Structure 1
Amino acid sequence: MTALPDWMQPPREEGWLAEDLDNLPDAPRHTELIDGALVFMMSPQRSWHGRVLDALTYTIRQQAPEGFEVEREMTVSLDERNRPEPDLLVSTAPYVPERTWFAPKDVRLVLEVVSPESAHRDRTVKLRKYAQAGIPHYWIVEDEDGSPVVHVYELDEPTGAYAPAGIFRHALQREVPFEIGLDLDKLTPRTGG
């Protein structure tokens, strides 16, 4: 058995802190911090995931009004022991080229495209954590027989939890966090059959 790389050794007994992620130069891309533990993508990403995420990023960025920034695969520092990396986020923070994370107060929407290895985290863990951090909108994109289906949640401020705001197939039209219209059928090419 080989020794663990130095970057995998927690710097303290209670685990990692959000600020530690910026000091792990040899860590794999897409390393997240959940409850003080490092989580990183080890399995190869499916082509479907990449195509849907590319199309969503482009389309939402094209529709974003001034004052909104659309970022892909950037972490959100929810608290000192949680810094997840959503697939896409919409923020009101100005663009800063050196930025490595966003504060929850600046994030208006987080979006996760579910893959088999992230399904539990996306559907339960992150759903709860993003709500507790006060992020107003959370979208989960699922693969339904090759077609993207978007589960939309809005933060219910009195309870501090997300409430379902709709499940969208074929088309999505939302007025928040800004006017967004998506033709979901065009996000992935249909294969012959």
Structure 2
Amino acid sequence: MVAESVSNLPLKHWSVDEYHRLIAVGILTSDDHVELLDGQIVEMVPQDPPHASNTSSFGNEFVLLFAGKAWIRTQLPLTIAPDSEPEPDIAVVHLDPNRYRDRHPKPEDVFLLIEIADTTLNQDRNRKAKIYAQAGIPEYWIVNLKQRQVIVYRHPQGDSYQSEQILEATDAIAPLAFPEIRIELQTILL
């Protein structure tokens, strides 16, 4: 008898509500570095120093740049679909009087998402870009640490973005929602 490959077995498709119940009853804890993507509980890759440093650099700079205009969330959940609750490295979201104490931000709360990529570039460019586009996230940046570039996705339609632009570390950019905020990438891309 030949054993069936585990990869050929059907997988459980988790909803955000089921995922939250796993957290509430302690099956998933803060020690489990996971996120829910397309109904799958996916282990997050541990952060190496360049990833952590760039996440901090962008987060700290954005807190200053967007003060009074938007809330900056670093590596915190977004409920963006019935079966997806990713934790992007940086989320620029609408100001909320309750500071999102009673819920995670939803797609309509998001101005911009950023993923810092070294070992996760393929997943960030494909799986996450598709999830974010389907949710209608208006702007998504991937910071490619190995190439010292920022890939800018704008104008979601269906499961993809209509605009993709690659910026070098010497370039500057202004987010769509905040054209008055000019970001010099060389000052924050480490």
TM-score bucket (shorter structure): 0.7 to 0.9
- Within the candidate set 101, 107, 115, 1:104 is matched to 107
Q: Which runs of no fewer than 5 residues in structure 2 stay unpaired?
A: 1-10
Report the CA distance between 1:177 and its aligned residue: 2.1
Per the alignment, residue 187 of structure 1 pairs with 188
Matches within 5 A, 1:63-82: 63-82=65-84
Per the alignment, residue 90 of structure 2 pairs with 88
Distance between the aligned counterparts of 1:81 and 1:97, measured in 2? Answer: 20
Q: Is the 8 A contact 1:30 1:85 kept in 2?
A: no
Distance between the aligned counterparts of 2:71 and 2:151, measured in 1? Answer: 22
Per the alignment, residue 173 of structure 1 pairs with 173
Per the alignment, residue 20 of structure 1 pairs with 18
Q: Is the 8 A contact 1:174 1:180 kept in 2?
A: yes
Distance 1:170 1:29, change over 3 A: farther
Secondary structure at 2:182's aligned position in 1? strand
Task: Write out the 4+ residue segments of structure 1 that deviate beyond 4 Å after TM superposition.
Answer: none
Per the alignment, residue 140 of structure 1 pairs with 142
Q: Is the 8 A contact 1:48 1:188 kept in 2?
A: no
Q: Which runs of no fewer than 5 residues in structure 1 stay unpaired?
A: 1-12
Q: Tell me the TM-score normalised to structure 2 length.
A: 0.78
Q: Can you list the C-alpha shifts for 1:73-128, whole angstroms capped at 9, x where unaligned? A: 12222221111111110111405263552111111111000131x22220101111
Distance 1:173 1:57, change over 3 A: same
Q: Is the 8 A contact 2:116 2:144 kept in 1?
A: yes
Secondary structure at 1:55's aligned position in 2? helix
Distance between the aligned counterparts of 2:160 and 2:46, measured in 1? Answer: 32
Q: Tell me the TM-score normalised to structure 1 length.
A: 0.77
Secondary structure at 1:62's aligned position in 2? helix
Distance between the aligned counterparts of 1:175 and 1:86, measured in 2? Answer: 17
